[in-house]
Chains A and B, each alone.
Chain A
Amino acid sequence: MSDGLSRRSFLKLAATAGAAAAIPGCEPAARKIIPYVVPDENIIPGVPSYFATTCGECSAGCGIIAKVREGRVIKLEGNPADPISQGAICARGQAALQGVYNPDRLSKPKRRKADGSLEEIGWDEALKLFNDRLAAAAKAGKDRIAYIGAPQGPTLDRLTKLWAGAFGSSRVVFWERIGTEPARAAADACFGRRDLPIYQLDRADVIVSFGADFLETWGSPVEQTRQYADFRTPRMRRGGLSIGKAAYVSPRMGITGAKCDAWVPANPGTEGAVALAVLNVMAGAGSLRHAGTAASAIQAQLAAYDPESVSRKSGVPVSQIKQMADWLGQAESPLALPGGDDPQTYLAAYAINALTGSVGNAMVFLAGAPAETASRPQETSAVVQAIGAGQVDVVVIAAGANPIFTMPASWGAATAIGRAPFVVWFGDAPDDSAQAAQLLIPTHHHLESWRDSAPRAGIYGLGQPVMQPVFPSRVLHDILLESAHLGAGEAAQSITWENAQDAVNAAWQELQSKLGLDPMGAEFWNQMRRNGGSFERAKALNVAFNPDALKGATPARVESESALLLAAFPHPFLYDGRGANKPWLQEIPEPSNQIVWDSWAEIHPETAAQLGLQEHYKSTYLYAGIDVIEIATPSGTLELAVHITPLVKPGVIAAPIGQGHTSYGRYASGRGANLWAFLPAGSRAVPVRARKIERQYKLVTPLGKSDMMGRSIVEVMSVEQLANGIKPPIELEEEENTPKLPYEMYDAWQYTGHKWGMTIDVNACTGCSACVAACYAENNLPFGGKEEVDKGRVMSWIRIERFIPSADEAAAAPNLYIAPVLCQQCDHAPCEPVCPVFASHHTPEGLNAQIYNRCVGTRFCENNCPYKVRRFNWYPAEWPEPLNLQLNPDVTVRGPGVMEKCTFCIQRITNAEIDARTEGRQLVDGEIITACAQACPARAISFGDLNDANSAMVKRRIDNPGRTYTMLPEFNALPAITYLRSLYWEKGKA
């Protein structure tokens, strides 16, 4: 761990190391657990502490709560008080734990020697080097220092600007590759303000998304998933029972397209044109109710976007354009969502929303929107150009910005930064940009830092350290502040704060007065730290739409006649690349294609046939792809293994962004291809040529067959069937095949106390895999890497199953069948009678328990499980230090040779029961929540007591009578989990 441990820290570490060392087998038998001699003030061993902070994994800024045991954070949950997350958290947020405990984090400052290798140096030497260079650059003139860092929240960013200003430089860039510039530019044109609107999907009744993968990476996926689940909940609207209707215009389906009624395959980069064509049709049909007198003017401006010509460019049939226009036109509360990097998509969507009256309802501008954090792309590229032109002496790269990896190739960031005289890199895990640095300085992870965030009006999120730093890193802004005071002298006098924490504290005092609160000082500050921030409802603004904005609509960017288009999309977990060094995010399969640990090229079977690619792997289920193509782009060639799938438009090669790091730790380096390097600035699409090459490369997937074969795993029913009380065909079939009076050899179990069960709403589940990540974190699940997944050894206890409806099913099915599958805790568990040693047995509370210490590893139980939810430890689990600090002390770490499976988080159940017993009371419904249920942004999973008729879980079943089903009922396993059928609109119905 760190050098120079204090006795207190040593005891903390020893206690935790002892708790984590419960591995039998060939490990040394006994390790010592040393109890505290002098107890720490805030720690009761065995009792967790909870700290509220703000997640820093993306710009959504969800509030989270960190569960800390014995001084180390072991689990993250959503903050129920935060309006964005409302208690939920996404997979990326869960994996932040693997960021703070990443084994490849820098622990000592390093300097690059003349031969290019790195040597460790002391802090004093490193900081002296840094400060000397800064001073020299400041003396040499203005603007000779450049800072490229990810946005860190208003206070810290303000600090950074002041620091740079103290050295006479204004070249400060807050860089987010997946940025908001197109949205802001369009908002400026349409509404005269560069704010970002807030979307409230639950207030709409029709949503058409033009390239916005709102359930994956766009905006705030956690918030949008929750809203979308509401949107799709059946409720009475005019005309009867209905659910919201949605369409998704995009080159690839993804899970966003899977959960919409219509996935409209469109060429990448043409989403904006399609949106304008839809607007055109709506204008012609008179659906723009709020257009008023401007209606004809608007129609004239859109003349170039008639459906026929847009259909030719985009590949979207005219009928679909017209249908989307029809949907939006007929809706009471239509909502268009714009995505991608093309401002005209946003123009069109804002126009649709404004002219149909949805602005102020489903799309809202809030008063008091925070100032923009990220720099505009033009400013950023100007700074990069200046660096390349030799106008900058010191380049500071900080806070995970990773410009060399994410900046467009045309900016030449790699060359420019490579040529800069002195590059300093600050961060936690050295990435591709650190390769160009002469000085590397370790700084805290966001979970170890004081910061704040202002994602939208009314929300001021606080970020506080949830534990002592894992590595001997330092606070970035403390270093900056110190260097400002040292080097810039009088120019730094205006900076009154001593360190970052001070600055954040001061910012909160400002907020206090802004909120009109009595400056009671400490009480407010404590309240904020407990809540994780200040969460107020901001007022909606009345904005007026400027019809002239549409004059600026320009033709779609991707105009080429090229046969093939490359559509790059941010990987839902790896995002822009930052998630690649977190093994959970690599091992959890991307939900729509179920591929792990790689980049891939999604190609439609027709296109694949043209390229000479075959699906010869399809029947063996051994891999997801093996042929490799070479893709020639204007910026260079890349090779990608091909995954042939109908979930992408013919003529499009869809490839995920996020892999292809040259250096970013052991889990990320040398894996896949970096798509950013081949994309032009401001677009994620590029015309390409591709050819098959002789190389073979295996794409690994835990998924077997994609065809559900009509089995009762993910059941669906149409809205019409639900509204009219008609049973869907599969239910009728099951009724026919299931004997009316099943013969029971044994008496039924009697549950006098609690009987735990779950209700899972498949309609709400989007496949986002937050539950999977939460389970990995809570239950000490091992990750094996690509080779182990290849051998079929994924250890996830809960998985997202995804099936593609066959041709004859497609008419009566959603776009994809998606559902979470976990141990069903069956009443007639088939796994119980076959275990020879009672390792699998039934508890008095209805769970099927697995006793790890008793398991001899015959693996008979998994053979008999129809759901295949059990997992065998084929290999000894390893967590390279310090990932092992994340392990939950309440859950055994299983050794090799032992079977494991979902336990309904029995450690949480038992802890709650113990607490209740200690306090002499009954358990309250909602007191126990499993990790998966807690994380789910869609609130799809409800856990509770079947013997409690008032529990939310039971109520959910009672309130949805026509939708309940159990998986594979023909096996008569009597699962404790009841699923609620997913709903879809019958094709061709309004």
Chain B
Amino acid sequence: MAAAIDTEIQPSYVDVDRQVQRALAPGGLKYWLWVLFCAFLTALGGAFWTNQIYNSFDITGYGQPTMWAVYITNFVFWVGIAHSGTLISAILFLFRVRWRTAIFRLAETMTVFAVATAGLFPLIHLGRVWFFYWLVPYPNERSLQPDFRSPLVWDLFAISTYLTISVLFLFTGLIPDIANARDKAVGWRRTFYSILSFGWQGTDRQWRNFATVYLLLAGFATPLVLSVHSVVSWDFAMTQLPGWHSTIFAPYFVAGAIFSGCALVLTLAIPARRLMKIEGLITIWHLDNLSKVVLLTSVIMTYSYATESFMVWYTQDPIEMATFQQRYYGPQGYMFWMMITCNCAIPLLLFIPRVRTNTVWLFIISIFVNIGMWLERFVIFVGSLSTNADPSQWKFYVPRLTEVIITIGSFGWFLMNFSLFAKFLPIVSMTEMKEGISWLKQAVREVYPYRKAA
């Protein structure tokens, strides 16, 4: 490891190109087996979803009063993950943060596919999915509109806006890189890249326009990081349910989104850099900085949990207090404590520099963070529904096979898309890497003292 860093500590433009495009080489057996496996999981999830549409929700574990459970948890989970990708690629761009260059493409990709995954779940959880388009205000002869007071309609706009902007942003940024790849490609790949690069020639004018558009798109995407997940959180905060009806939800969810998304970037970046041999581009220094964001948001989450609990006690509202008492000490209380461990306790390890620069530790911690964040949504949504205002209607939820398979299938879908993207399109932005080479070398040197004997 140490030797590898030494030699690649001074990449040149050519080095950058070479490293990134080496990853674009045709995949080996192991790669295709992995993609096939993900595709299999996707197909399995799809089959179970089809079964659910055909045979109704009878096969799921849903029942009174948990109207929303695993599917909405997955929805919020994936949408949350998406936000940190945009944070890294748009917000950190506007702030000219240096360590963003190597990972932002990967993060942006994660965003697009996470939104694509998240967007499936509002469909999956619908009772009559074939009428989903009624939420869209399309002109019709009966002059029917959706109800704009409903947070689900806001969701529709927020998510579709987010998907549109993210895709545009990603593909706009990709254009020079794809052109780069096109120049060295042969065969069908050349055709493929030619189409996607829109005839980019790298002229001065094109570069100027590119910079302007990119800046504008970054500007568009920035407020979405805060607004989209706020809107998603209002699916819950706008209700009267004890445990949901809280003004803390918007910042709470946004912070949680960044938290889990950055952790997933770590989860994806660490194996990606190893398998595609781009450790020189996505360096320990980048991972170190990313984990600092994870640590920061973890502390924010801890503060949020504490605030939420404090406010519940402070209101002395018996219904709120009963719901939270169940959340902590009820039969599903173990999930709450697992969540605290994963989200508050384990990330504290990131205070230790050695942990922050150790890829194995980072990988493990990031997995725990995502487990914790998934549990957080489940605990909030299912917990409050299960212990609502009328005690005779309390009932705890147990997921059945369909929900489990569809959840696994969603991971398969995400990973399949991500893996295909990573193989066929540049996963590191060659353009921005080249812009930032000079201070990359300096930065890696700064980190080097930490790496005693890895």
Chain A interface (Cβ within 8 Å of chain B)?
Answer: 25-26, 619-622, 702-711, 713, 788, 791-794, 801-803, 821, 830, 833-838, 854-860, 862-864, 866-868, 871-876, 896-899, 968, 970-971
CB distance from B371 to the nearest CB of A (A): 23
Minimum distance in angstroms from B234 CB to a CB of chain A: 11
Which among B63-71, B85-93, B205-213, B408-416 touches the partner chain?
Answer: B63-71
Complex interface: chain A residues within 8 A of B67 (CB): 859-860, 862-863, 872
CA distance A510 to B149 in the complex (A): 70
Contact B392 A706 (CB under 8 A): yes
Q: For residue B385, give the distance in angstroms from its CB to the closest CB of chain A.
A: 7
B56 touches A837 (CB 8 A): no
Enumerate 16 A-B pairs (CB-CB under 8 Å) in ascending A order. Answer: A25-B128, A702-B64, A704-B393, A706-B391, A706-B392, A792-B66, A794-B64, A835-B150, A836-B134, A836-B153, A857-B128, A859-B68, A866-B240, A867-B390, A872-B57, A898-B128
Within 8 A of A (CB), among B122-173: 122, 125-129, 131-132, 134-135, 144-147, 149-153, 156
Contact with A along B21-63 (1 / 0, CB 8 A): 0000000000000000000000000000000001011101111
Structural contact, B54 and A26, CB atoms closer than 8 A: yes
Question: B390 near A858 (CB under 8 angstroms)?
Answer: no
Contacts of A873 in B (CB 8 A): 56, 127
**Are the C-beta atoms of B150 and A899 separated by less than 8 Å?**
no
A834-B239, A837-B134, A899-B127 are known contacts. Are A868 and B390 too (CB-CB below 8 A)?
yes
When distances are taken between beta carbons in the complex, the residues of chain B under 8 Å from A709 are: 318, 322, 391
Give chain B's interface residue range (CB within 8 Å of chain A).
35 or more
Provide the B311-349 mask, 1 if CB < 8 A to any CB of A, else 0: 000000011001000000011000000000000000000
Query: Which A residues lie within 8 Å of B127 (CB)?
Result: 855-859, 872-873, 896-899
| A473, B257: Cα distance in complex, Å | 68
CB nearest neighbor in B for A704:
B394
**CB pair A803 B392 closer than 8 Å:** yes
Residues of B within 8 A of A792 (CB): 63-66, 395
Contacts of B322 in A (CB 8 A): 709
- In the bound complex, residues from chain B placing their C-beta under 8 Å from that of A835 are 147, 150
Contacts of A971 in B (CB 8 A): 240, 389
**Smallest Cβ distance from B59 to chain A, in angstroms?**
9
Q: How long is the Cα–Cα vector from A896 to B55 in the complex, in angstroms? A: 9
Query: What's the nearest-Cβ distance from chain B to residue A869, in Å?
Result: 9
Instruction: Name A801's closest neighbour in chain B (CB-CB).
Output: B392
With CB as the reference atom, state the residue of chain B lying closest to A787. Answer: B58
Inter-subunit contact B132/A856 (CB<8 Å): yes
Given contacts A838-B146, A872-B57, A874-B58, 7 further A-B contacts (CB under 8 A): A794-B64, A854-B134, A856-B128, A858-B125, A858-B126, A868-B64, A868-B65
User: Which chain A residues lie closer than 8 Å to B129 at the CB level?
Assistant: 856-857
Q: Are the CB atoms of B146 and A836 closer together than 8 Å? A: yes
Chain A residues with CB under 8 Å of B149's CB are: 833-834
B233 to chain A, nearest CB (A): 14
The answer to whether A791 touches B396 (Cβ under 8 A) is no
Contact of B63 among A706, A791, A858, A897 (CB under 8 A): A791
B residues less than 8 Å from A871 (CB atoms): 64
Q: Are A838's CB and B147's CB within 8 A?
A: yes
Q: With A836-B146, A836-B152, A838-B146 as known contacts, state yes or no: A856 contacts B131, CB within 8 Å.
A: yes
Chain B interface main SS type: loop
Closest chain-B Cβ to A866's Cβ sits at a distance in Å of 4
A823 nearest CB across to chain B (Å): 13
Docked Cα-Cα span, A802 to B393, in Å, equals 11
Q: Known contacts A619-B331, A711-B319: does B395 contact A704 (CB below 8 Å)?
A: yes
Give per-residue flags for B364-396: 1 if the beta carbon is below 8 A from chain A beta carbons, else 0.
Answer: 000000000000000000000100111111111
Q: Which of B145, B156, B241, B330 contacts A863 (CB under 8 A)?
A: B241
When C-beta atoms are compared, the residue in chain B nearest to A817 turns out to be B392
Would B238 and A620 count as touching, CB distance under 8 A? no
B181 to chain A, nearest CB (A): 43
Residues of chain B with a CB closer than 8 A to A708's CB: 391-392
Closest chain A residue to B321 by CB distance? A709
Q: Is the Cβ of B134 less than 8 Å from the Cβ of A896?
A: no
Indicate whether A710 sits within 8 Å of B318 (C-beta atoms), given known contacts A833-B147, A858-B125, A896-B57.
Answer: yes
Cβ < 8 Å to A, chain B residues 209-258 = 235, 238-241
Once A856-B128, A863-B385, A872-B127 are accepted as A-B contacts, the answer to whether A834 and B151 lie under 8 Å apart by CB is yes
A residues within 8 A CB of B318? Answer: 709-711
Partner of B388, one of A802, A860, A866: A866
Chain A residues near B392 (CB-CB < 8 A): 703-706, 708, 713, 801-803
Q: Which residue of A lies closest to B58 (CB)?
A: A875
Smallest beta-carbon distance B116→chain A, Å: 20
Chain B nearest Cβ from A865, distance in angstroms = 9
Is A711 touching B134 in the complex (CB atoms < 8 A)? no
- B422 CB to closest chain A CB (Å) equals 35
B186 interface residue (CB < 8 Å to A): no
Decide if A896 touches B56 in the complex (CB within 8 Å): yes
A874-B389 contact, Cβ under 8 Å, with A830-B239, A833-B147, A855-B127: no
In Å, the complex CA distance between A704 and B330 comes to: 14
The interface residues of chain B lying within 8 Å CB-to-CB of A704 are 391-395
* Chain B residues whose CB sits within 8 angstroms of the CB of A837 once the complex forms: 134-135, 146-147
A27 to chain B, nearest CB (A): 12
| Docked CA distance A835–B145 (Å) | 12
Q: Within 8 Å CB of B395, what residues of A?
A: 621-622, 704, 792
Residues of chain A contacted by B57 (CB below 8 angstroms) = 872, 874-875, 896-897
Which of B131, B241, B391 has the most chain A CB within a 10 Å cutoff? B391
Name the contact of B135 in the complex, choosing from A706, A836, A855 (C-beta under 8 A): A836
B398 at the interface (CB under 8 A from A): yes
Contact A803 B64 (CB under 8 A): no
CB-defined contacts of A619 to chain B, threshold 8 Å: 330-331
Inter-chain CA distance A207–B396, complex, in Å, is 42
Residues of B within 8 A of A867 (CB): 389-390
- Whether B126 lies near A857 (C-beta < 8 A) is yes
B56 to chain A, nearest CB (A): 4
Selected contact of B389 from candidates A622, A711, A854, A896, CB within 8 Å:
A711
Q: How far is the CB of B62 from chain A (nearest CB, A)?
A: 6
A713 and B240 form a contact (CB under 8 A): no
Residue from B151, B390, B398 in contact with A866 in the complex, judged by beta carbons closer than 8 Å: B390
A251 to B82, CA, bound (A): 62
Instruction: With both chains docked as a complex, state the minimum distance between the C-beta of A905 and any C-beta of chain B, in angstroms.
Output: 22
B331 close to A620 (CB less than 8 A): yes
- Given the complex of chains A and B, what is the CA–CA distance between A732 and B36 in angstroms? 66
> Which interface residue of A702, A803, A863 has the most chain B CB atoms within 10 A?
A863
Chain B residues with CB below 8 A from A711, complex form: 318-319, 389-391
- B56's partner among A794, A802, A838, A874 (CB-CB below 8 A) is A874
In the complex, A792 Cα to B150 Cα: how many Å? 26
